[in-house]
Amino acid sequence: MNYIIKNATLVNEGTTTLASVVISDEKIEKILIGRDAPWHVFTNYDVIDAEGLYLFPGIIDEHVHFREPGLTQKADIFTESHAAVAGGVTSFMDMPNTNPQTTTVELLQQKFDLAAQKSVANYSFYLGATNDNIDEVKKVDPKKVCGIKLFMGSSTGNMLVNEDDALVRLFNESPCLIAAHCEDEKTIHENTVCCKDLASKGEVVADAGIHPFVRTTEACYKSSAKAVDMAAKFGARLHIMHISTKSELTLFRNDIPLKDKKITAETCPHYLTFCDRDYDEKGFAIKCNPAIKMASDRDILRKAIIDGHIDTIGTDHAPHLWHEKFTDDYFTAKSGFPSIQNSLDVMLNLYHQGLVSLPQIVKLMCHNPATLYQIKGRGFIREGYYADLVLVDLNHEKIIKNDDMLYKCGWTPYDGLTVKSQVTHTFVNGKLVYHDGIVEKVNGKQLEFER
């Protein structure tokens, strides 16, 4: 079916404009600027009256853990892609710490095959780096694969790369972008041993509040600085994910255009929303790696998404089952949480608080991921581009509830948060896949890259 979205407030490429968009055969056929533009000359189209609604490009989430294969008791591509489109996310890039770990091109292809059958949203997958798989890394086709994931700090599903020779080869020989999780393992280990000792003596309470004192600012900065140094030395394309500290921001430039940057940074909505004071209320629900840190870190990260030190927003969507998260023991409670269904909601709350503009949100969540990863035909509302589009009501207040989540795990750390916006329609490749709480069964496409 073809569509006309009429009289929407289009937020795109730094401007906010009243417009109508004509969708035909998966693509944006025409953009008509102005109220009551002559959309009626297009016949046999289903017309959606978007008066009062805002039209964004589809969100591109470069950082998710959909847990398939092997961990599907937590999540899978079908359920999490449904949650994604309900939140306005039309494309995702999934991480390799599954079971088996995605560390060969054969296993990578198996994930692409799964997504072709199961995903409502568009998709790509990272190949995971290890200490000894550089030959597999070199086989990756950069036009078909989003990047190589490097764990310089262990997290869920330990894929730690800690041998200097392996790191040198990776930064010197990777055919495409390296997306890095940066935390210094030695620092974290020493802090963990210390906290366990203090807890055993009753000198500290091993609750969620100690997390930023185990996975510290020092651990983040030390590892990120090492990655930046190596990328600069070898001319590698490096994207450091989930920046959580103000100190790391000194490693990144904001004085050149994104297209000219070789070293870039991502943060996540939870680092812009929560801080150390929220552990008392949220507990292990907001335990994640890297840790949510101090209010001063959160406040400076909010400025960094405006001034260009932070280039993209990803979710690090990482579901765990309720009983894995909510334990009595800090040292066994899993790190990570689901968030993709509410990432746009949460960012729009920052807009309502006057902390970020609508064009800036679109830049961080749509334009910049498309530019940084060189995604073909997506991330912008342009004639000839795929019609990945999201309509949002900015005046629809709601309370986020666990019961409304489409995640397989059935909960969210944002439970109880009041947000002031609501996704009303999501289009993927010109198909209306989400409307009024209903997700339609269609198939997303594999992302392509212009490298």
Six token digits for residue 278: 């929220």
Give the model's pLDDT for residue 109. 98
Give the model's pLDDT for residue 285. 98
Question: What's the average model confidence in pLDDT over 70-75?
Answer: 98
Question: What's the average model confidence in pLDDT over 6-18?
Answer: 97
Residue 313: which of 378, 370, 383, 255 has the closest Cα? 370
Question: What's the average model confidence in pLDDT over 89-115?
Answer: 97
Give the model's pLDDT for residue 282. 97
Residue 142: which of 96, 92, 105 has the closest Cα? 105
Share of the chain above pLDDT 70, in %: 99
pLDDT tens-place string over residues 186-215: 999 999 999 999 999 999 999 999 999 999
How close are the terminal C-alpha atoms of the chain, in Å? 32
Alpha-carbon gap, residue 193 to 214, rounded angstroms: 9
Residue position matching structure tokens 């730690």: 160
Give the model's pLDDT for residue 154. 65
Is the sign of the CA dihedral 268, 270, 272, 275 positive or negative? negative
Q: Measured at the alpha carbon of residue 64, what is the angle toward residues 62 and 67, in degrees to the nearest 5?
A: 150
- Cβ neighbours for 164, distance < 8 A, ≥ 6 positions apart: none
Question: What's the average model confidence in pLDDT over 59-88?
Answer: 98
Range(s) of the chain covered by CATH 3.20.20.140? 58-372
Alpha-carbon gap, residue 127 to 335, rounded angstroms: 22
Range(s) of the chain covered by CATH 2.30.40.10? 3-55+388-398+420-439
- How many other β-carbons are positioned within 10 Å of the β-carbon of residue 149? 26
> Is residue 36 very low, low, confident or very high in pLDDT (cuts 50, 70, 90)?
confident
**Given a cut of 90, is residue 69 above it in pLDDT?**
yes
For the domain spanning 58-372, the CATH number is 3.20.20.140
Alpha-carbon gap, residue 252 to 311, rounded angstroms: 10
Give the model's pLDDT for residue 436. 85
Lowest-confidence range among 103-107, 138-142, 395-399, 435-439? 435-439
- Residue 15's DSSP bridge partners are 12
Predicted model pTM: 0.97
Average pLDDT along the chain: 96
Alpha-carbon gap, residue 321 to 334, rounded angstroms: 9
Q: Are residues 4 and 47 in contact, defined by beta-carbon separation less than 8 angstroms?
A: yes
40-49: which pairs have CB atoms within 8 A and are 24 or more residues apart? 42/4, 44/2, 45/2, 45/3, 45/4, 46/1, 46/2, 46/3, 46/4, 47/3, 47/4, 47/6, 48/3, 48/4, 48/5, 48/6, 48/391, 48/425, 49/6, 49/7
Helix (H, G, I), strand (E, B) or coil at 275: coil
pLDDT tens-place string over residues 105-162: 999 999 999 999 999 999 999 999 999 999 999 999 999 999 999 999 665 556 889 8
Alpha-carbon gap, residue 309 to 354, rounded angstroms: 19
Question: What's the average model confidence in pLDDT over 21-44?
Answer: 92
pLDDT tens-place string over residues 399-409: 999 999 999 99
For the domain spanning 3-55+388-398+420-439, the CATH number is 2.30.40.10
Give the model's pLDDT for residue 155. 57
Residue position matching structure tokens 């509410």: 342
Give the model's pLDDT for residue 380. 98
Give the model's pLDDT for residue 35. 86
Alpha-carbon gap, residue 353 to 226, rounded angstroms: 36
pLDDT tens-place string over residues 287-302: 999 999 999 999 999 9
Give the model's pLDDT for residue 37. 83
Question: What's the average model confidence in pLDDT over 234-248?
Answer: 98
pLDDT tens-place string over residues 46-55: 999 999 999 9
Give the model's pLDDT for residue 389. 98
- Cβ neighbours for 3, distance < 8 A, ≥ 6 positions apart: 22, 23, 45, 46, 47, 48, 387, 427, 430, 432
Give the model's pLDDT for residue 158. 63
Tell me the residue length of the chain: 451
Is the sign of the CA dihedral 435, 440, 446, 448 positive or negative? negative
Question: What's the average model confidence in pLDDT over 356-372?
Answer: 98
pLDDT tens-place string over residues 266-293: 999 999 999 999 999 999 999 999 999 9
Give the model's pLDDT for residue 39. 85
